[in-house]
């Protein structure tokens, strides 16, 4: 049995105990931009997804950006380009 450990952006943000404003500031975008991304994660550009993952201390592959039928494929992107395993902000 395969266990899916992916979390949504909201779940990752809550897990790291960050507000939308905290995460937006760390990314370098306005809080309303981040709020739109969290509501519609399929609209996030890859470079922004990589930055979010870096800040959250996970891989882009660990974030559930899409529901079923996703056309977004991370299969050919090396891990060092899609995120790190250690949180990168707040200290």
Query: pLDDT class for 87, splitting at 50, 70, 90?
Result: low
Instruction: Give a yes or no: residue 3 inside a domain.
Output: no
Q: Do 75 and 68 contact (CB within 8 A), yes or no?
A: no
Residue 41 lies in a domain: yes
Q: What is the pLDDT of residues 54-82, one digit of tens each?
A: 999 999 999 988 754 444 455 544 544 44
Q: Evaluate whether residue 87 is within a structural domain.
A: no
Residue 23 sits in a domain whose CATH number is: 1.10.260.40
CB of 16 closer than 8 Å to CB of 46:
no
Is 90 a member of any domain?
Answer: no
Residue 30 lies in a domain: yes
What is the percentage of the chain residues whose pLDDT exceeds 90? 54
Based on its alpha-carbon atoms, the radius of gyration of the chain, rounded to whole angstroms, reads: 12
Q: Which two tokens stand for residue 72?
A: 């977004």
Does this model's pTM top 0.75? no
What is the number of domains present in the chain?
1
Domain assignment of residue 45, given as a range: 9-82
Whether 91 is in a domain gets the answer no
């Amino acid at each position: 049995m395969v266990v899916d450990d992916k979390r949504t952006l909201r779940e990752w943000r809550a897990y790291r105990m960050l507000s939308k404003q905290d995460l937006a500031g760390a990314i370098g975008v306005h809080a309303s931009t981040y709020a739109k991304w969290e509501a519609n994660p399929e609209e996030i550009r890859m470079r922004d997804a990589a930055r979010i993952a870096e800040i959250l201390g996970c891989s882009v592959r660990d974030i559930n950006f899409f529901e079923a039928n996703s056309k977004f494929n991370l299969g050919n992107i090396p891990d060092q380009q899609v995120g790190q395993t250690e949180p990168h902000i707040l200290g």
